[in-house]
């Protein structure tokens, strides 16, 4: 086998390979003999057809199979001998041969050399959030609001009430798409509808009918009415005031505290809140560390790996949208939407592999076990969850990857300039949106 390697540009390589035809012909002949033993050819009993007839029927197919195998084997053998780390899949192209050799070219990319930059002077923000009684009180209030009851009232509607209405809207006397509805419920004062629409309903009682003029903003999502004035005829069919449950024994039982002990309920809520706060802080710290690694480690990324990752992200997006009932055949997904995310993932994969290998940060069994046990804590039967994970090595891949990332985070934080920053509970939990 003759091999010639060319560097095209950056990570791109081209390998020209010549294989002796005699060896290929010998393999083709040997495989045709095996085929002949069971070949079913019209006019002959199985395995009794002459060699020439077998070759006429199967020769082209067998030669194609042998060439395909030989090309693959020759390429990867040559790559190993040249100590090349091939990224993605090579693209094979036939080349002009001669009487003694079969020639082909393989175009491919190699993995880049990863040199992690200096972390000592890199500033990494480490968010912190305190969980006090105030945060527990806020969480209790959220849980109360989730269990709000609405009681019908005969008074005028006010902010905080839920109303059920029929409405019909028109611009210059002409109805428009999405401008009407029946038995439409919403809460006043929460910005669910345009301010003028809600203001018009405040003060109305059940059974009242009123026309309300509404000016749509110029940047309104409905282009047909953006910047225009509409008149809505509104019928109020129901006004109900919100009644939050009391924080008492019954409320505690609703949250799973069998004996209704409110202090036990608060302790359980604190435990869950602290777990969620820890999870979110860990995710933010990890994100900051990963960005720091990318910042200090410039890389040329193999296009083949980026394309593969784009494909995976597109498949995930299609599956997610399909599960939501969307018809994907009518909704194309441009690859450009996923390119930036794919590049980040590929870069991090290469960098993390180098950091783990260079600093011996492999996941230890006891670390994996501790993480699995932490996962299991939030379930009623933790032992069942632990057994489920350990029933399959494949199921442990997720926790193992997380431990590896945690090890890298700890390593980087030990090298970098870490700056703690207090983050409010509301901001961390996304309650300011």
Query: Which contacts (CB < 8 Å, 24+ apart) does range 370-373 have?
Result: 371/399, 371/402, 371/403, 371/406, 372/396, 372/399
What is the share, in percent, of the chain residues with pLDDT greater than 70?
98
**Residue of 97 and 185 predicted with greater confidence:** 185
C-alpha closest to that of 102 among 217, 6, 21, 223: 21
Q: What is the pTM of this model?
A: 0.73
Name the 3-class secondary structure at 210. Answer: strand
- 291, 412 Cβ separation under 8 angstroms: no
Q: State both tokens at 246.
A: 């009391």
C-alpha closest to that of 108 among 92, 124, 94: 92
266-294: per-residue pLDDT in tens? 999 999 999 999 999 999 999 999 999 99
29-81: per-residue pLDDT in tens? 988 888 888 877 877 877 777 888 888 888 899 899 999 999 999 999 999 99
| Sign of the alpha-carbon torsion through 274, 278, 281, 287 | negative
| pLDDT at residue 247 greater than cutoff 70 | yes
């Amino acid at each position: 086998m003759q091999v010639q390697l060319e560097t095209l540009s950056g990570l791109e390589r081209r390998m020209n390979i010549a294989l002796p035809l005699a060896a290929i012909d010998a393999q083709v002949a040997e495989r045709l003999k095996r085929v002949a033993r069971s070949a079913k050819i019209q006019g002959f009993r199985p395995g009794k057809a002459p060699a020439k007839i077998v070759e006429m029927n199967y020769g082209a197919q067998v030669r194609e199979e042998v060439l395909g195998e030989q090309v693959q084997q020759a390429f990867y053998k040559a790559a190993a001998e040249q100590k090349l780390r091939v990224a993605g899949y090579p693209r094979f192209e036939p080349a002009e041969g001669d009487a003694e050799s079969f020639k082909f070219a393989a175009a491919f990319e190699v993995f880049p050399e990863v040199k992690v930059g200096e972390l000592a002077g890199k500033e990494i923000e480490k968010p912190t959030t305190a969980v006090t009684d105030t945060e527990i009180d806020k969480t209790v209030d959220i849980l109360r609001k989730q269990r709000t009851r609405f009681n019908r009232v005969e008074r005028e509607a006010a902010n905080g009430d839920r109303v059920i209405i029929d409405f019909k809207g028109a611009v210059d006397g002409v109805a428009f798409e999405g401008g009407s509805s029946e038995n439409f419920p919403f809460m006043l004062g929460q910005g669910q509808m345009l301010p003028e629409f809600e203001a018009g309903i405040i003060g109305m009682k059940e059974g009242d009918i009123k026309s309300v003029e509404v000016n749509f903003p110029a940047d309104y999502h409905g282009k047909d009415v953006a910047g225009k004035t509409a008149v809505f005829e509104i019928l109020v069919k129901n006004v109900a005031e919100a009644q939050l449950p009391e924080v008492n024994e019954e409320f505690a039982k609703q949250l799973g505290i069998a004996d209704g002990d409110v202090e036990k309920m608060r302790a359980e809520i604190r435990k869950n809140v602290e777990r969620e706060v820890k999870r979110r802080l860990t995710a933010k710290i990890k994100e900051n560390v990963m960005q720091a690694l990318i910042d200090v480690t410039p890389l040329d990324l193999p296009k083949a790996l980026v394309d593969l990752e784009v494909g995976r992200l597109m498949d995930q997006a299609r599956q997610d949208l399909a599960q939501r009932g969307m018809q994907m055949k009518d909704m194309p997904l441009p690859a450009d939407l996923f390119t930036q995310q794919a590049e980040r993932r590929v870069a991090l994969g290469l960098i993390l592999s180098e950091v783990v290998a260079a600093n011996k940060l492999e996941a230890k069994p006891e670390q994996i076990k501790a993480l699995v046990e932490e996962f299991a804590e939030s379930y009623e039967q933790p032992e069942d969850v632990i057994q489920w994970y350990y029933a399959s090595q494949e199921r442990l891949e997720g926790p193992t990857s997380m431990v590896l990332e945690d090890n890298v985070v700890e390593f980087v934080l030990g090298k970098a300039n870490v700056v703690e920053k207090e983050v409010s509970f509301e901001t961390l939990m996304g309650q300011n949106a």
